[in-house]
Amino acid sequence: MEPVMTAGVFPPGKPKLYGRREERQALARLLAGVRGGHGGVRVLRGEAGVGKTALLDDLAATAADLQMVRAAGVESEMEIAFAALHQLCAPALTRLDGLPGPQRGALGVAFGLENGPAPDRFLIGLAALTLLTEAAAGSPLVCVIDNAQWLDRASRQALAFAARRLPAEPVLMVLATREPLTELAGLPELEVTGLREADAQALLASVAQ
């Protein structure tokens, strides 16, 4: 399966970052792990404008040789159940027929592909996990999710369910959020704070050129 991108276009080339050595090293270790067949998850948490998206772009560029899906929370879709999960899983829906019947039916109803009663949330999470792990069977998969504070609640629950079960699979999931989220509680976090003064000055100088 060729590398896949969705819900966002990456900037050409590797983005220039100032500072962020510790954060980039932490993400590089996760990438090394997934390349070695070990899954992982990290929640980047920091206030608006602090640089979380830049770190996600840098991660995406560093992992350009791997399969990738990317999604972002949209504030206007917060009340639409499973909207963000559909955004993330859309490239893998060709594998939907290969899921066990109960999982396939639950996800099909959640995504409006078939009719049925409200799907069981456990089956939705399990189906999302199965889709991601099946997609990673041939090559490691990186899932990058920005603005997680704007994900609909049903998607956050399903993604958190999958994230807690990724260590044994070659799938890396990195989510960025402005605030702590109940559904993501307990997942490993990486706090993103402001740049050091020297790095901030270098950034300002680059913009002024």
For 199, phi then psi, to 5°, come to -70, -40
Give the model's pLDDT for residue 201.
Answer: 42
CA distance 101 to 110: 14
CA distance 117 to 9: 36
Give the model's pLDDT for residue 17.
Answer: 62
Give the model's pLDDT for residue 2.
Answer: 40
- pTM of structure: 0.84
Give the model's pLDDT for residue 71.
Answer: 94
CA distance 176 to 131: 22
Give the model's pLDDT for residue 4.
Answer: 41
pLDDT along the chain (209 residues), means of 10: 37 55 93 95 93 92 93 95 94 91 95 91 95 92 97 96 92 96 95 62 46
User: What's the one-letter identity of residue 47?
Assistant: E
Give the model's pLDDT for residue 33.
Answer: 95
Give the model's pLDDT for residue 76.
Answer: 95
Classify residue 172 as left (phi > 0), alpha (psi -120 to 50) or beta.
Answer: beta
Kindly provide the residue ranges of all beta strands, DSSP E only, lying in the chain, ordered along the sequence.
40-45, 67-72, 141-146, 171-177, 189-191
Give the model's pLDDT for residue 85.
Answer: 96
Give the model's pLDDT for residue 68.
Answer: 94
